[in-house]
Amino acid sequence: MKYPIFFILLFLFSSIHAQVDTIPPSDTDVNQDIIEDFISGQGEEVDFDLNTIYDDLEIYKEHPLDLNKATPSDLEELRLLTSVQINDLISHIERNGDLITLHELQTIRSFDLNTINAILPYVTVKGGLDDYNVPILKMLYQGRNEIYLRLERILEEKKGYTELEEGETGSRYLGDRNRYYARFRHQYETHLSYGITLEKDAGEEFFKGSNKKIPGFDFYSAHFFLKDINKTLKGLAIGDFAVNMGQGLIMFDGFGSGKSSFVTNVKKSGRPLRPYTSVSEYLFKRGTAVNLTFGKNFEVMAFASYRGRDANISLTNEDENDLDILQISSIQSSGLHRTENEVEDKNSIQHLSTGGTIKYKTKRWHIAANGTLDKLDSPLLRNYSTYNQFNFNGDRLMNASLDYSFIYQNFNLFGETAVSDNGGMATMNGLIIGLDRHVSMAIVHRHYQKNYQVLFPNVFAETSSGNNESGVYLGLEVKPNKHWIINGYFDTWEHPWLRSGVDAPSKGKEYFFRVTYKRKRKMQAYLQFRDEFKEKNASDNETHLDYLVDTRKTLIRVHIDNKISKALELRNRAEWAIYHDGIGGKSKGYMLMQDIIYKPIGFPLSFTARFALFDTDDYDSRIYAYENDILYSFSIPPYYNKGTRFYLNLRYKGIRNMTMELRFAQTYYANQDTFGSGLEEIDKPRRSEIKAQIKYQF
């Protein structure tokens, strides 16, 4: 490890005065914490594409959102305001008339200085020309264009790229080690967007084999999207798009709220249609959709999608000229097509999805009826097990729901109740309360029956299946003054039926507590405690019957974020994990990390860096930590085993309209000789990753 490199770079640039030149830290911190907490709760590593989170923010930096004209949906899409704050803002304008200046935000009950500072780059109270009068043809060629080109590569050779040895059976990756990403997007403010995205994952073929035809990439996506063109047409999508309905009981393609350190952020919201610009090959629609309003109160959304999906083929009728798929056992979500089997699963079934929403809304409340129909051209018949006997099997599924939101003074009552065509039901209802200027609370009750069936749920729950769970969540946030924030939640749940790896009805509970101290924009420090209890099958059970035991995982974190100057920011974190397996076994671990963030003005080169030490007994005591990455990309990998991890991100903006970035990251294990498993195994105790990206804007 070349430890001195961080300090050498810091010394070279320390004489240059600077300020942050991209998304302000107050904005990224909010989404970092939400996503970091989400991954910790899911318990698995997930890669995210930040395009879907920050696209609108980048546009609003150039064309600020007029708070006097903004709808609740516009304010929700900022992702920087809570339901209580949006309600208070609307109430203030209704009582006192349009805002005259942004300073007036300080008089709104739930708006503190941290909130105001976070939204200031993206909002205004000035009027302006009505963009409804801008012709669509003009929008097509005027506006902002962006091109992204990205290359990623693991430097060490994985087993999947080696040759099969004599007598060895198995598979190998068909393509090379490079991951390619290309994207073009044109936007006219927030009203028009069109573009194309191309990607090839590491191990997938490129302009050969299964991808030998143009475009040569393994995945491609294109969209054309209109938004708020006139008072009737609120949205029109052609190509790839995302659909959001209610609280996700039947469909919510976007990143939704869940349990996080923002304890009152429990309500899913936003516009029903969005353009799709990500590279996830799982949750998106391909076809057309429209969102219309009639008068002041009625809104209608309808969509139709037809696309291929990856699936495990379980039964075929094969002859010399054709392969007829008769049955599948599961729908795949990884989007990886590296081996012959994965290529065979690619787009092996066709999925027709259609549906819509009819909504009656005012500024204070809405009620909506939602419906979807999903049709597969080959039936899904899962491998039977006792735990999954109530899950969907077949080739046709219908879902319907009612969702609502009602605001009265400081209360926001919301929820959704859904039914599947087999009679299964699911309901989720919540209440967000602004008790006073300094205290807010959230309550969520959910009850998802074991026989409720849905293909792609995105629900507020402990698990992601969308069924077989009942629970109650209580969240409380207290801001005694401008320096201190105290928040926490308690969640308790039960699963009335079996689950994978849990061979009996089970239950669990979780406690979360965080106390934060902030000093203007100079420093933030917090202490965080999280304790989770779950019933699981006993490990190493030698009896004939599996039995449940109470497992427990405790996480304690100390985090300090200190802005030394406008140019330099240091972040320090220490975190400890303790896991009890319920039969007397115990594993523990810790992680220490140091981040350096240096972003100068008047000098084109900036960098972020991290060095982390970690030591855990096993995967059960793993620790997750958000990592800065190249622009609009990040991941939250698990830290486990014993070793070190560091990364260095360089960003160069010395060429007009162009941003060039380079990232090098490496994880080293001190307690083992290999890294990874299966075809991902590296015959060395380290994994090194390099990324390069060019963004050109014109």
Indicate whether 597 and 688 sit together in one domain: yes
pLDDT at 666: 97
pLDDT tens digits, residue range 400-411? 999 999 988 889
86 and 11, same domain (yes or no):
no
Residues 10 and 69 in one domain: no
Among the listed ranges 138-142, 586-590, 631-635, 643-647, which one has the minimum average pLDDT value? 631-635
Token output for 500: 């994978």
Contact 469, 493 (CB under 8 A): yes
- Domain shared by 625 and 533, yes or no: yes
pLDDT value at residue 372: 98
pLDDT at 616: 97
What is the four-CA torsion angle of 633, 225, 243, 82, rounded to 10 degrees?
60
- Predicted pLDDT of residue 322: 62
Q: Is the pLDDT of residue 21 over 50?
A: no
The yes-or-no verdict on residue 196 having pLDDT over 80 is yes
With a CB cutoff of 8 Å and minimum separation 6, the contacts of 243 are: 251, 252, 253, 272, 273, 285, 289, 301, 303, 355
468-526 pLDDT tens trace? 999 999 999 999 988 999 999 999 999 999 998 899 999 999 999 999 999 877 899 99
pLDDT band at 430 (very low <50, low <70, confident <90, very high): very high
**84 within some domain:** yes
The one-letter amino acid code at 154 reads: I
Contact indicator for 172, 160 with CB cutoff of 8 Å = yes
Could you list the beta-strand ranges (E) of 42-107.
47-49, 65-66
Residues 9 and 69 in one domain: no
Considering the domain boundaries, does residue 206 fall inside one?
no
The rounded distance, in Å, linking the Cα atoms of 524 and 516 is 7
Residue 644, both tokens: 């070190």
Is the pLDDT at 320 greater than 80, yes or no?
Answer: no
Residue 589: what pLDDT? 97
Q: Determine contact, residues 459/248, Cβ cutoff 8 Å.
A: yes
**DSSP letter string, 420-473:** ETTS-EEEEEEEEEEEETTEEEEEEEEEE-TT---SS---SSSSSSSSSEEEEE
170 in a domain, yes or no? no
**pLDDT tops 90 at residue 158:** yes
Same domain, 12 and 75: no
Question: What pLDDT score does 371 carry?
Answer: 98
pLDDT recorded at residue 570: 95
Q: Is 18 exposed, middle or buried (0-12, 13-18, 19+ CB in 10 A)?
A: middle
Could you tell me the residue range of the domain that residue 69 belongs to?
Answer: 65-124
The answer as to whether 235 is a domain residue is no
Q: Does 2 lie in the same domain as 102?
A: no
Give the domain CATH number at 560. Answer: 2.40.160
Mean pLDDT of all residues in 17-35? 46
**Quick one: 546 and 641 in the same domain?**
yes
72: preceding bond cis by omega (within 30 degrees):
no
Choose one of 73, 95, 124: the last residue of a domain: 124
Tokens coding 508: 């669990």
Give the pLDDT confidence score for residue 536 in this predicted structure.
92
Q: What is the mean pLDDT of residues 612-637?
A: 89
Identity (one letter) of the amino acid at 419? V
Domain-embedded: residue 496: yes
Instruction: Say yes or no: 600 and 667 in one domain.
Output: yes
- pLDDT at residue 279, as a whole number: 86
Query: Which pLDDT value is given to residue 550?
Result: 94
Give this prediction's pTM. 0.89
What is the number of domains present in the chain?
Answer: 2
Do 635 and 696 reside in the same domain of the chain?
Answer: yes
- Domain boundary among the residues 103, 124, 145 is at 124
| Residue linked to tokens 């380290």 | 686
Of the residues 107, 124, 141, the one at which a domain ends: 124
Residue 175 lies in a domain: no
- Greater confidence (66 vs 635) lies with 66
532/547 Cα distance (integer angstroms): 20
Three-state DSSP state, 191: coil
User: Above 80 in pLDDT, residue 586?
Assistant: yes
8-state DSSP, 203: T
d(CA 412, CA 375): 36
Q: Per the domain annotation, does 644 fall within a domain?
A: yes
Residue 603 covered by a domain: yes
**How far apart are the C-alpha atoms of 475 and 29, rounded to whole Å?**
20
Element (H, E) at 510: strand 506-519
